[in-house]
Each structure stands twice: as C-alpha cells, then as structure tokens.
Amino acid sequence: MRKLPIIRSPRGRAAALAAVLAALTVCAGDAVARSYPFGPLTRSVNDLGNQFVPFHARLWDLLHGRADGGLLLNWQSGFGTGFLPDFGTYLSSPFALLVGVFPRDRIDLAVYAVTLVKTGAAAAAMTWLLTALRRGRGREWAAVVLGASYALCGWSVIEAVYNPMWLDGLIAFPLLCLAAEWARTGRRPVLGTLLVTLAWVSNFYTAYMATLGAALVLVVRLLVEDGTRRERLRGLGRAVRAVALGVGLAAPVLVPVFLGTRHAYPGWTRAFAPAAWPDVAARLLPATYGFFSPALFLGTGALLLAGALAFHRAVPRTERLVWAGLVAGVALSLQWGPTHLLWHAFATPNGSPYRQTFVLSGLLVIAAWLSVASGWPDRRALLGGAGVVAL
C-alpha cells in the first residue's frame, strides 16, 4: 500500500509523530495514576460523568437507531427536552462520531478514546502550524516536541481532559492560525473558510476564544512580515471574509444553541476576581492545581525557549519585541476584568474563569518555535530565557 503524500513529507511525519507522542503520554500518565482504563480510579466524576458521558451515550443511540426521539427531541432526559441545542454544545464535533464503533456498555472507554484522538490532533495541528510559520529545516524534531507540549499543556490535561468538547478549541487554535496565514498570503481561500466552519461547528465556545487568539497572531504577522500597507489591509480583509463565511456556514448548528441558551434556566452568576499573581506564576510548574487560577504549565523546555526569544539576536529586533509584547499582553488580559469578559463572550463562567488559557499556551509555543527555527539560541539568549522563567 502506498503511503499518503502528506505522511511522506517531513512536515506530515512530524505532525503524525507529535500526535502519537501526545496520545501515548496521556496514556502513560493515566497508567501511572491508575486511572481508568488503566486502573480502578474512575474518570467519570462531576460534569464528565453526569453530563458528557450520558450525552455521548445518547449519540450512540442515535447512530444505531435506538434512541427515543431524534435530533430535535430527547425523551430520555426528564419528561422530554429539546436536543438540538445540546447536540450543538456537546456532540457536534466530528470526533464524537467515534463513539459509534464502541459497544453501548463501554461509552466511558469511547469518550476516553475520543479524548486521546483530540489530544493527538491538537499536537499534529500545532506542529503543522509551526512548520508553516517558519520552516526551520533540520529542526522538525523540535516542532514535534513543541507541538506535543502544546497538546499536553496544563489546561489540557487538568481541565479540558474532563470537558472533551473543550479539546476542540485546542485543535481549533492552530487550525485558525493556519487559515489566517493563508488569508495573509492569499492562498487556499476555500480551505481556510472550511477550517473556520469546522472549528465553530465542533465547539463554538472555545472556537470563539481560538478565533480571538488567531486574530492576534494574524495582526502580529502582518506587522513583522514584509509587505506594503495595501497588501496588509488586503490580507486582513481576506481573513475577515473567511471568518464571516465560515461562521455563516456553521449557523445551522450555532442558531439553535443561541436560541436554546436564551431560554435556558439562569445559572449561578459571580463577579470575576483575578487570581493572585504568585498563584498564577505557580501554575507554570507541574503538579499544581487551582480551580480559580490558570493552568499554564507547558514544559520547562518550551518556557525556556519562549523566554529566550526576547534575547535571541538571530531574530529581528522588531519581531522579538512584538511577539514578547503579544505574549505579555495576553497574559495580562487574563487578569483584567474587561478583557476577561471579552475572552468569555461577555459572560463570566460559572466554573473556572480561565478557560482561554490554551490560547496563551499556544502563543508561548509559537514564540518558542520562532526562537529555535531562527537558529539555536546562544548562551546569552538562554541565560535571559532562564532568568525570565526563574523570575
């Protein structure tokens, strides 16, 4: 059997390797923790066990023609309830269809498999994006490690792993950045629009955050790359058009969710209170947890390289300053009330108030890659990066 062309290319092999590395790492961690399916400790607690697994069981019934009701109405919940808004919120990801190949009594295992596949897809997407932003020939292995680090960031393995639909946002961020890069250079307009549609259909909530993050990356790329003002404006216009068309194509899924949200029972509301900065800094370390602080851990190597970018003399000074400013600005935006509301569609979440953390993790990985792809940082840059991390 002939190999697919995408796998035969160095970039394709790097993306596939990052996906395998990320998925195996999640399995290894769960095996060490003796968590299901590698031990007796259950994963199905809180929302995962009470909402997400039952919703995937409902999807299994739909796929096999054994559900009471259909996409419009669910007779298996309470005295009957509309199902289309729930479908668009929890089950519209293409990866959710994988539950159909598992037995009905192994839905827990099916959701775990979906989680692994999504984590691997996020690693592959980020690896592909990194090599698209800057080739870094001979350093594809570094893109593999950084792509896997992104998929295994603290936000992913501590929070999103128990909210499987959030992992679609982890995939969406690098895909939307790739679509923005195509818009900037005037390439693949149809595919870029379809990537936007895929992201918003899969999970509109995290796709919104990923779109904001991709927009920031696009602005930085427009500022640091060569081109006239007219060319930059045209690139920005193409990106806006792709987002508008992509979200429009996703409207059949988004509109029922929006209408259902308007009629939903009001939930618990609370004012945003920023976490203490020592707590925020502590979450850069592994084996830390705090429900009301951002899970920022990314891997010491990635953080070191991201910190070294500002001191890396092989990278143009303007690029260094702009990327460092972007990362710092996004980090500060997590802690300020108005930008917190902007990240969360102008509504403070009932649970963790730092659900946009994956965007900052992605920006740090991109900064780390730019530091490597431009040539290995010298001693001065590494010492500067170490100082930033140690601070």
DSSP string, 111-179: HHHHHHHHHHHHHHHHHHHHHHH---TT-HHHHHHHHHHHHTSHIIIIIGGGSGGGHHHHHHHHHHHHH
Asked if the model's pLDDT at residue 297 lies above 60, the reply is yes
What CA–CA distance (Å, rounded) separates 142 from 372?
A: 8
Asked if the model's pLDDT at residue 79 lies above 80, the reply is no
Strand, helix or coil at 358? helix
> What pLDDT sits at residue 5?
58
> What pLDDT sits at residue 2?
52
Average pLDDT of the residues of the chain: 90
Asked if the model's pLDDT at residue 22 lies above 70, the reply is yes
| Mean pLDDT score, 344-354 | 88
Q: How far is CA 343 from CA 89, 276, 278, 372, in A?
A: 18, 19, 22, 30
What pTM value is reported for the model?
Answer: 0.95
Q: How far is CA 281 from CA 243, 285, 286, in A?
A: 34, 8, 11
| Mean pLDDT score, 132-138 | 79
Cβ density class 151-172: b for 16+ within 10 Å, e for less: bbbbbbbbbbbbbbbbbbbbbb
Asked if the model's pLDDT at residue 6 lies above 60, the reply is no
> What pLDDT sits at residue 1?
45
For 212-234, what is each residue's pLDDT tens digit? 999 999 999 999 887 788 889 99
pLDDT confidence bin for 139, thresholds 50/70/90: confident
> What pLDDT sits at residue 3?
53
